[in-house]
Amino acid sequence: MGNNSTEYFSTRGNADILDFAGVTLTGLAGDGGLYVPTHWPRFTPEQIKAMRGLDYVALAARVMAPFTQGVLSEDELQGLCKAAYGSFAHSAIVPLKQLDSQHFLLELFHGPTLAFKDVALQLLGQLFERFLSGTDKKLTIVGATSGDTGSAAIDAVAGRDQIEIFMLHPHDRVSDVQRRQMTTILAPNVHNIAIEGSFDDAQAMVKRMFGDRDVNGPLTLSAVNSINWARLMAQVVYYFAAALRLGSPDRTIAFSVPTGNFGDVFAGYVAAQMGLPIERLIVATNVNDILHRALANGDYSVSGVTPTAAPSMDIQVSSNFERLLFDLEGRNGAATLARMKAFEASGQMQIGPEMRSEGDIFISARADADDMALAMRWAYEHCGEVLDPHTGIALHAARAEMIAPHIPVVTLATAHPAKFRNAVERATGVRPALPQRLANLFEREERFDILPGDYDAVRDYVLAKAVR
């Protein structure tokens, strides 16, 4: 690690300190915690003003450079971002649309797999290539998906020589388009596993494999989920992009974010720590509302996962909430470790009012099926916009929360509506067509294995199939 490298430590305080290349390749910290930079870098208002007019690639490199210091220069980052975002179907990469006098949509779904995950995962694919090339290292990626991370990660690494990927999704709980986007990629380094269980079960198995010496020893594991710091870092950029277009830093902005694993909205929190004037981050959940309960009244208690029409948000245990808890605990690793261990044992955690008030940039709202459908209908009938269900939930929250009328509220549009054609048709009467690049998706051959929701079965499968 170079002397001036940005350093990363674990939220649980008991893992190796790494530089940017180290955290990117490692994924989950050795003590089970999540890596974060040892301090949040901060831009002055003048530095943010100087970002006005940069195109997305140049902006991305400028915003991310403080996190890659000592490992990648801003110029090197620009080269990687250019390669990553070349496959996006919109020249603005993340176009911003106005809905009414206060509300805006930030479209994050113009990447190859039609969800916001591409913004980070296309870059992560480039980063892996950069850090592995010239070495004889081989990475085995184990990931869990409730529908979108899976295809975006597979697209980013399919066919790469030094990487093999095992992606777990909950059987029959993702949309047919989402499943086919993963299971029709037949590259030999891609393994799709449908597990009998929920996304939470899949995510727990993935984390357990990282700590299992019988797996993470013979294999060198890495992560594509948002437990990997590089994922979040790339997502910080679009908060800057939207806010700059709306007049930041001279104006404060609110964002409404459809939330499941707390990664996307945590990236907004990071943008605020870096000096972007964010008025509020609205955490929008579906009926799997643990985050809404936690932020509204301190009750972070797990209940069963209910399948909904917004399946990518059918999550209860939100990985990145630990990164927020770490900050709310005053960045105290021992306190965070004790809190997380107690939660893992009991499935319950109380967050006191003083601690919640430290995180008062967040507000939250929960949308049920009717709220979601009404918001989707409003967007279609009043603005001519066909939204996917996840975006519908965030738009419901954006309109329900009382944000002062002079503050623009940007709803993150996280997926293309065609990924959820049946739910969109039920809500709006419109059946969105698949974009040209996926037009023959339903004619392609699928390949995946179905496994019981049992850790040993999944671990044995990975060990048997992985090429060492």
Ligand X SMILES: N[C@@H](CCOP(=O)(O)O)C(=O)O
Interface contacts to ligand X, rule CB under 6 A: 145-150, 225-226, 260-261, 263, 312, 319
Q: Which stretch binds ligand PLP (CB under 6 A): 75-83, 131-139, 192-200, 257-265?
A: 257-265
b/e per residue 437-451 (b: at least 16 CB within 10 A): ebeeeeeeeeebeeb
289 binds ligand PLP (CB under 6 A): no
Q: How far is the CB of 352 from ligand PLP (least distance, A)?
A: 24
Least distance (Å) from ligand PLP to the CB of residue 262? 5
Q: Is 341 a catalytic residue?
A: no
Q: What does 258 interact with, of ligand X, ligand PLP, none (CB < 5 to 8 A by kind)?
A: ligand PLP
CA distances from 332 to 182, 220, 267, 327, 418 (A): 39, 29, 20, 8, 43
Q: Among candidates 181, 82, 76, which has minimal Cα distance to 122?
A: 82
Annotated active-site residue in 117, 137, 138, 341: 117
* Stretch binding ligand PLP (CB under 6 A), from 179-187, 254-262, 268-276, 432-440: 254-262
Q: Which residue is associated with the tokens 């093999």?
A: 164
- Give me the sheet containing 253-258, strands edge to edge: 96-98, 103-107, 409-413, 253-258, 278-285, 362-366
Of 9, 46, 60, which is closest to residue 31 (Cα–Cα)? Answer: 9
For residue 290, which of 302, 308, 275 has the smallest C-alpha distance? 302
Residue whose CB is less far from ligand PLP, 6 or 113: 113
Cα→Cα distances 302→216, 229, 320, 368, Å: 28, 25, 15, 18
Smallest gap from residue 290 Cβ to ligand X (A):
14
Q: Which is nearer to ligand PLP, 185 or 219 (CB)?
A: 185
Q: Does 414 bind ligand PLP (CB under 6 A)?
A: yes
Asked if 261 interacts with ligand PLP (CB under 6 A), we say yes
**Nearest CB to ligand X, comparing residues 260 and 268:** 260
Q: How big is the site for ligand PLP, counted in residues (CB under 6 A)?
A: 17
| Of the residues 263, 333, 392, 408, which one makes contact with ligand PLP according to CB under 6 A | 263
Beta strands in 87-178 (DSSP E): 96-98, 103-107, 139-144, 163-170
Alpha carbons 97 and 75: distance in angstroms, whole number: 30
Q: Which does 122 bind (CB under 5 to 8 A by kind): ligand X, ligand PLP, none?
A: none
Positions 204 through 233 that interact with ligand PLP (CB under 6 A): 226
Closest distance between ligand PLP and the C-beta of residue 355, in Å?
A: 21
Sole binder of ligand PLP in the list 118, 148, 314, 385 (CB under 6 A): 148
Q: What H or E segment, with its residue span, contains residue 201?
A: helix 199-211
Token look-up 């739910």 returns 423
Please state the closest distance from residue 284 (CB atom) to ligand PLP, in A: 9
| Residues forming the active site | 117
